[in-house]
């Protein structure tokens, strides 16, 4: 094909996009441009296996170092794209280089939200987004250190688990009444609260940070002051209060942006030469019937296949159900579907909630809209099929571990 594809953002989504282009038969020039100096890597190990010490650093990288040259991909690391010139059909980087394109794929990801309180500038305050962030945090998690984690989302809880495994004293501060309440609802959020408390975490709910207090040297963190007057001693403060999509390039180029770059089911932005994948893509979802933006690994892994197909002129809309997984202590979990706060009537549990061996189903109008398996394996395909069937499922049969999930799908 004629033309050049420029992929902006050299993380998993960007690397998978150039791979899908080459696998799909695209023979034209391809450039992959990223701000980080590392070659593309996956982010789950940063808060899971690599941080916990069970995975090697090299396991995080998407491709071997030689892969990009072998597949004629112009990989430019340590290069920041500053503008997307749609009129000229060029991408401009910070060095002044202009790269022409016929298609550009935005894979710029997201960035951690910052904690804005007095003392937030002190040494010893960490955020986790990049591989170097994980390197530093891994080195800092040593036995006996006092770690305060601000935020009770997935990143915060995974960091807390890694810190406890390293022998740290850990406190987790959650603004809501339970961690993960907005994601799981009260029925399942309590499971994770109990899990962390059983592993020695000082989990504090309805907790708000007022100030980070310095140690005696005046430069390093020494304590975290809460709005209720409590002071928690701290050698390290890890902030995990969410992330924001990096949409500045899209906004300045005049593309439609609304909680991410708005794209159709083929991942085309308001200018059809531009596509978006991964954390920043707020994509029309044919099955769900709405636009969704999903900040999870599976989206960055699979959306690039659709983006490449679109560039290659194939009609392959993206309709995979959102998927997420976590590993904390001895708990492994997978979640599939689209469950929103207030978007379900009840949660049906099959298995043993107390023993944390279960499959939970979120139902609305008798239909399963999402499912989560905890320490129960090889059921994700059946749960997806159940969601996609849109079938009204008998509650008792759904809860009965002796009724195969596949039979519920067949009955539908």
Q: What is the C-alpha end-to-end distance of the chain, expressed in Å? A: 44
- Global pTM reads 0.95
Q: What's the token pair of residue 333?
A: 């979990």
Residue 203 host element (H or E): strand 202-204
**What span, in angstroms and rounded, lies between the C-alpha atoms of 257 and 5?**
22
Non-local CB neighbours of 70 within 8 Å, separated by 6+ positions: none
- According to the model, what pLDDT value does residue 254 have? 97
For the chain (412 residues), the mean pLDDT of every run of 10, in chain order, is 87 98 96 97 95 94 98 98 97 96 97 97 97 97 97 97 97 97 92 97 98 97 98 98 96 97 98 98 97 96 98 96 96 95 92 96 96 96 96 95 89 67
**What span, in angstroms and rounded, lies between the C-alpha atoms of 140 and 155?**
17
* Residue at token pair 């999402």: 370
- According to the model, what pLDDT value does residue 168 have? 98
**What span, in angstroms and rounded, lies between the C-alpha atoms of 267 and 276?**
6
Neighbour tally for 323: CB within 10 Å: 19
Strands 90-93 and 81-85: antiparallel
- According to the model, what pLDDT value does residue 28 have? 95
The count of residues in the chain is 412
**What span, in angstroms and rounded, lies between the C-alpha atoms of 329 and 180?**
17
Strands 281-285 and 261-263: parallel
Task: Detail the DSSP E strand segments found in 209-356.
Answer: 209-214, 221-226, 231-233, 236-239, 243-245, 261-263, 274-276, 281-285, 290-292, 323-328, 331-337, 346-352
Q: What's the token pair of residue 140?
A: 């800092």
Q: What are phi and psi of 361, to 5 degrees?
A: -125, 130
- According to the model, what pLDDT value does residue 332 have? 96
Q: Does residue 279 sit in helix, strand or coil?
A: helix
Burial 106-118 (b: 16+ CB within 10 A, else e): bbbbbebeebeee
- According to the model, what pLDDT value does residue 2 have? 59
Q: What are phi and psi of 42, to 5 degrees?
A: -90, 150
* Residue at token pair 């391809």: 30
Domains of the chain: 5-111+243-311 (3.50.50.60), 114-239 (3.50.50.60), 330-411 (3.30.390.30)
HSE-CB at 246 with a 13 A cutoff on CA atoms is 19
Q: What are phi and psi of 332, to 5 degrees?
A: -120, 140
Query: 250-253 long-range contacts, Cβ below 8 Å, gap at least 24?
Result: 250/84, 250/106, 250/274, 250/276, 250/280, 252/83, 252/84, 253/83, 253/84, 253/85, 253/86
**What span, in angstroms and rounded, lies between the C-alpha atoms of 149 and 151?**
6
Is residue 150 within 8 Å of residue 237, measured between CB atoms?
A: yes
Is residue 334 within 8 Å of residue 358, measured between CB atoms?
A: no
């Amino acid at each position: 094909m004629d033309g050049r594809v420029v992929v902006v953002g050299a993380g998993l989504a960007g690397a998978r996009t150039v791979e899908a282009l080459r696998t799909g038969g695209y023979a034209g020039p391809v450039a992959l441009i990223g701000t980080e100096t590392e070659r593309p890597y996956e982010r789950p190990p940063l808060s899971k296996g690599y941080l916990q010490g069970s995975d090697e650093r090299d396991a995080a990288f998407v491709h071997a170092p030689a892969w990009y040259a072998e597949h004629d991909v112009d990989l430019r690391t340590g290069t920041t794209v500053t503008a997307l010139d749609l009129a000229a059909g060029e991408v401009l980087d910070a060095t002044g280089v202009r790269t022409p394109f016929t298609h550009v794929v935005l894979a710029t990801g997201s960035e951690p939200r910052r904690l804005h309180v007095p003392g937030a500038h002190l040494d010893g305050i960490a955020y986790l987004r990049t591989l170097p962030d994980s390197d530093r945090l891994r080195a800092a998690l040593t036995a006996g250190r006092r770690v305060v984690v601000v935020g009770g989302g997935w990143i915060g809880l995974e960091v807390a688990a890694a810190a406890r495994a390293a022998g740290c004293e850990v406190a987790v501060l959650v603004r809501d009444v339970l961690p993960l309440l907005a994601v799981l609802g009260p029925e399942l959020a309590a499971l994770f609260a109990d899990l962390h408390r059983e592993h020695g975490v000082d989990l504090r709910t309805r907790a708000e940070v007022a100030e980070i207090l310095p140690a005696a040297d005046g430069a390093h963190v020494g304590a975290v002051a809460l709005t209720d007057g409590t002071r928690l001693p701290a050698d390290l403060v890890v902030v995990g209060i969410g992330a924001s999509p990096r949409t500045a390039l899209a906004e300045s180029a005049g593309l439609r942006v609304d909680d991410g770059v708005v794209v159709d089911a083929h991942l085309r932005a308001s200018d059809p030469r531009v596509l978006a994948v991964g954390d920043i893509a707020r994509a029309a979802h044919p099955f769900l019937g709405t636009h969704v933006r999903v900040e999870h690994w599976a989206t960055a892994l699979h959306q690039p296949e659709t983006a490449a197909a679109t560039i290659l002129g194939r009609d392959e809309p993206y309709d995979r159900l959102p998927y997420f997984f976590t590993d904390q202590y001895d708990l492994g979990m997978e979640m599939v579907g689209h469950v929103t706060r207030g978007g379900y009537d009840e949660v049906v549990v099959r298995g043993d909630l107390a023993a944390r061996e279960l499959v939970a189903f979120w139902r609305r109008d008798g239909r399963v809209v999402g499912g989560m398996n905890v320490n129960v394996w090889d059921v994700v395909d059946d749960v997806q099929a159940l969601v996609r069937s849109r079938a009204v499922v008998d509650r008792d049969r759904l809860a009965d571990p002796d009724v195969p999930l596949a039979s519920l799908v067949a009955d539908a």
